[in-house]
Structure 1
């Protein structure tokens, strides 16, 4: 039986210190023992909280000491920069990431066009991942995180970073085709976030019509991916693509009635709308096989 060996102490920066970024920074600094710098938006409440505490603090009062900044120091050769912003927010920091001396930049969010990000920072130092942690920050900026709930693991395309996370008690697994995984996750991400928004708006769950509209939008999103010459990946998503829209609609309708699901995902309204716009913008001009109206109908009201 092999034993996981903790990696050497690394210099890590976390760009975006919301729920997910705070969880990563807390575990990497406290459990992993790494030198962690967190970067929050200048003038934000979160930056003020972090500067007040000089640490990520959880709801039990446990502290993970970190360096706090309002911008990435481009001259520091960080071993890893983890970007936990949303896809529609990343363009504002791409020039800074391009100039950065960081050895690896890992994008950790939903994106329909991961290749663009890879080219922007350079293929040799680009990595991708998708978080699977549940976390919230209270009004005082204290972190409440559920890491590894239900056996879920954060996905990464490079073994060294999966090992880094596992050693810091952040369960992670390697997904070798992360770019395909991310692209094909976007239609489902939109559906889940949008149905959660609808559930909150209705005060208890989305309507059947809303759920069916979103399920049809997922199928249209997969059709768009195929029209771009990309595979539907992995197998679980191919199964959804081949199933009737009503099957996925049942899942969406049911999950929208789970309060914890609604509260967790209804905060993604802006991300949801931006991802819909990204899919529509990627549609090949004049391709009648792509139902962009069904994709557009997924936007939350």
Structure 2
């Protein structure tokens, strides 16, 4: 995401042990603010797989290996809970999803430079590279943007790339904060970040999973069936830890809700559903669910559920 670490920073430290992490986090607790980023993988899993956490203080930057054998991330959780140290992110939502999953809490207090940039007039959801360029004149090296961060050992180039994300962010934060303070808009950032600060934002409720499908039909039976099917898919994907789209694609789920197949043969005729899936244990469970939904009388169907205006992707 960014070029190698700024010249005024020493080379990044790769942390792979609990003792080294404890010592580093103790030093960071003396900082006014730290900048934080993560590298993770989730192409093959439902839950994000934490690979690295990058943290920079005033004169020190570390790349913490979240997959190092035997490492305990408890010192990091304590640092993130320290109210005396501001944690600065850019586009914190996915990072916080991981931290809520691992630690049960959002880092506090938190400052998101993407939110701050919006308040400062840079536009909605401005990218990190654009913000670095606009505020510091820096350029972004994307050479390792698509690295598989779960593969070990990490190269020196990967470590430098990961560290640069948080070293550049320190100057971005300073300049944004100064601009917002001068414009009298600094308090607006906290108001805009209310959703990001709530752990509930990052907890997936299967009962609301249907909302991301954005169905066009208002038919009560279709919507009731879709809601139950989407909740079932979400729970099943969580249970076996695979992406929901790998279990059943959205298009297939919408068609299943519309046609309510009653047999494995009918289910296998849905585009994207293999005969092996339809005749297997998961397909059988799905057909049993559909049978139960089909048996609900029209008079007992709930009112058509209403989707929220904003749905997390």
Asked if TM exceeds 0.5, the reply is no
Q: Give the greater-gyration-radius structure (CA).
A: 2
- Per the normalisation by structure 1, the TM-score is 0.28
Between 1 and 2, higher relative CO (CA 8 Å, sep ≥ 6) is seen in 2
| Structure with higher strand content | 1
